[in-house]
A and B are shown apart, each in its own frame.
Chain A
Amino acid sequence: MEVTIKYFSVFRALTNRVEENINLAAGATINDLLEYLVKEYGRKMEEMLFSRKKLKGYIRITINGKIVRNVQEYELHDQDNLYLIVALAGG
């Protein structure tokens, strides 16, 4: 299956892309996608995403416009659109 991922802020700088299409095995989870990104983009991507193998609290992932909770085990589907965002807020 193929999913589309759009990058924001730091991730756009890390990947040097605005978005990309990624092929994954059927039944792949978001965790599988993130592992692919780490493999593709290396240590900096891993540091940005994970702390002790847990997704950092301020990383926000949306699928088809909806923010996803319990994100790592979420199963992806063909043609899903994902956003990868570092979430800050006001002050």
Chain B
Amino acid sequence: MALTAYINLTTEEIRAAESPVEVVVKYLGSRGYAARILYDNVGPEVEPLSRENCLIFSTGPLTGTPWPTGARYTVTAKSPLTGIYGYANSSGFFGPELRKAGFDALVFTGQAQKPLILVIEDRELELIDGGEFWGKTTEETERELKERFEGCKVASIGPAGENLVRVASVINDYGRAAARCGMGAVMGYKRLKAVVVRASSEVPVTPAFKQVALEMMRKTGRHPGSKSLRKWGTVHLVDPKNISGDLPTRNHQLVQFEKADKVNAVSLNNYLEKNDGCYSCPIRCSRFTKVEHGRYQGRTEGPEYETVNSLGPLVANDNMELIIYGNLLCNRYGMDTISTGMVIAFAMECREKGLLSDPEGLLSLEWGDEQSILGLIERIAYRRGLGDLLAQGVRSAALKLGKEAKKYALHVKGLEMPMQEPRICKGMALGHSTSNRGADHLYALPTIDLAGNVEAAEKLFPQCMPEILEPTNETYKPDMVVYTEAYCAVSDALGVCKFSTTENFALYPEDIARGLSELPGYNHSGESLIRAGERIVNLERMYNHRLGLNRRDDQLPDRFLGEGATVYNMDSGEVVKEGLVVDLEYMLDRYYSLREWDQQGIPTSSKLKSLDLADLIKDL
């Protein structure tokens, strides 16, 4: 059986025990299991940066197995950026190694007196002195630890996490980030510099499981959506999103970028070193890029679409080399590229509106200014000058700058908006608003309409056709989001990538259920898996309800509700559409109703009972 390890960093006590099987299975694993641990151990009174907060690394039952894309792990804690339920997850090879070593979860509590590193050799755990690594980048840390522990995998924080930057990430495999919600700051507060893991055996699976996994590997790899991701990576989105008005520009003041052709997939290909993939992945969407000459020399995994947009059009930068270098810096310092781009864009708009200037007088903060973009990344990581303000995230920074600045702080529940335009993609608008970790494209990943996935739409929502396929039509977006939130929760909890599930529906829940049911303790149909996903979403919602959140926290920034977006034909300059805003109240009404919650967005006792969550009713 897999283990859960409890590591008290204050006392340096480590206790590893067999995981409670019934709890793991009920919440599937990884994100679901960690959500339950957080619910039970980190109450509303706990401060995110405190000894009492838990930092949980968790894997799913498919992580580290031959299942297609079984590469993911989750990092969970009460978020210091948002103050609510927080998690981030990442792919690469660290998660599979942790699973192979035999762990469902590592639960860190307390705060070390001095920097520590947890070293895992199969089922043996040891805390070692991390003092010599404190202050080093994630790249230096990982390289040196890999020299010392040959063949190991590493997840670490950089200077941003050490400095309690609220947008700090955890980085594994050099360029893979558990990026969102400031999990790196929790790790930094606890003075845990890194987790090192080395396993000597594989995850045990049956021949029957392997057979289903192989079948699904082929199915996933052959899906046209997978082929497109393999050929072009996620950056292929730049061109169609620019045409449709879904390319956030200048802090969402515009929805298209006049120089998109300089930051698209064709442009990135000029720096492409190789395509690659994570553990057990037939999609292989990752792009390794290299800038060989000039002042932005370097090599990095990525940038992915989100980063290209957040360090590109969002801040009016059309220099792809700067985007690649900015991505490299964010990985080295350990910072979420989405939130970093958003705080820079916020600062630039505040400068534009006369609300902010660089107190050091060194950065112009003008749109697209390269010195400002790179200067702010470094200042945020080390909390120097203006970086100290921005390191708190846009919501806190705006509170300090005054009422007017709040208009330009684009976030939901304190988490900065990712790179979709809510006024164009109404499913994403709703997904950003209802997500229990704050603005998030991956909490629901509602792309059936955006991808024109007619097959999935007709299979899952025949009663909503054809309106559900129209990105700007709000009518049935709640139906899509309710379903895909559950399927995303399933994906995260099992440890698989959403590019095999909700992005293109290469695999449906019933495909996954066939494989999962070959693992001990799990017996699922597609329907029961979605129900388990729904249970996770309700548990996470209850965590936030216990903190006092309700419908008013499911709101989008005013910009998306009241400032009409205009879409142009980018060649002729003619207006294609104008006055686009989000009718969020309609979508929330229907979403809550479909969820069987009350109209304040709070689960009902009957709903909790039906999901076998009756023990949470006391917290209603």
Contact = CB atoms under 8 A, between A and B. Distances in A.
A90 B428 CA distance: 9
A6 B246 CA distance: 21
B571 A47 contact: yes
A42 to B, nearest CB: 10
Contacts of B574: 44
Interface string B468-512: 011110000000000000000000000000100011100000000
Interface string B243-266: 110100000000000000000000
Q: For A60, A62, A87, A91, which residue has the most chain B Cβ atoms within 10 angstroms?
A: A91
Contacts of B243: 10, 48, 58, 86
Interface bracket on B: 35 or more
A67 B576 contact: no
A77 to B, nearest CB: 18
B128 to A, nearest CB: 38
Contact of A67 (B228, B240, B420, B455): B455
B577 A13 contact: yes
Interface string A30-71: 000000000000011001100000000110101001110100
B418 interface: yes
Interface in B429-454: 441-442, 445, 447, 450-452, 454
Nearest to B504: A89
A88 B224 CA distance: 13
A74 interface: no
A14 B243 CA distance: 12
B372 interface: no
A66 B478 CA distance: 24
A65 B452 CA distance: 11
Contacts of B244: 9-10, 86, 88
Interface residues of A, number: 27
A89 B441 CA distance: 11
B452 A10 contact: no
Contacts of A48: 243
B454 A88 contact: no
Contacts of A12: 470
A87 B237 CA distance: 9
A71 to B, nearest CB: 12
Contact of B240 (A8, A66, A86): A86
B450 A88 contact: yes
Contacts of B571: 47
A45 B176 CA distance: 40
A90 B469 contact: no
Given A83-B466, A91-B305, A8 B234 contact: no
A37 B574 CA distance: 19
A21 B80 CA distance: 56
B225 interface: yes
A43 B573 CA distance: 13
A28 interface: no
A43 B451 contact: no
Contacts of A65: 454-455, 458
Contact of B447 (A10, A86, A89): A89
Contacts of B567: 10, 13
B306 interface: yes
A85 interface: yes
A69 B445 CA distance: 25
B445 A13 contact: no
A44 B572 CA distance: 8
Pairs of residues from A and B, 4 with the lowest C-beta to C-beta distance, nearest first = A85-B452, A58-B240, A60-B452, A88-B450
Given A48-B243, A88-B237, 9 more contacts: A8-B469, A9-B472, A47-B571, A60-B452, A62-B454, A85-B469, A87-B451, A90-B447, A91-B237
Interface of B: 224-225, 228, 234, 236-237, 239-241, 243-244, 246, 304-306, 418-420, 425, 441-442, 445, 447, 450-452, 454-455, 458, 466, 469-472, 498, 502-504, 567, 569, 571-572, 574, 576-577
Interface of A: 6, 8-10, 12-14, 43-44, 47-48, 57-58, 60, 62, 65-67, 69, 83, 85-91
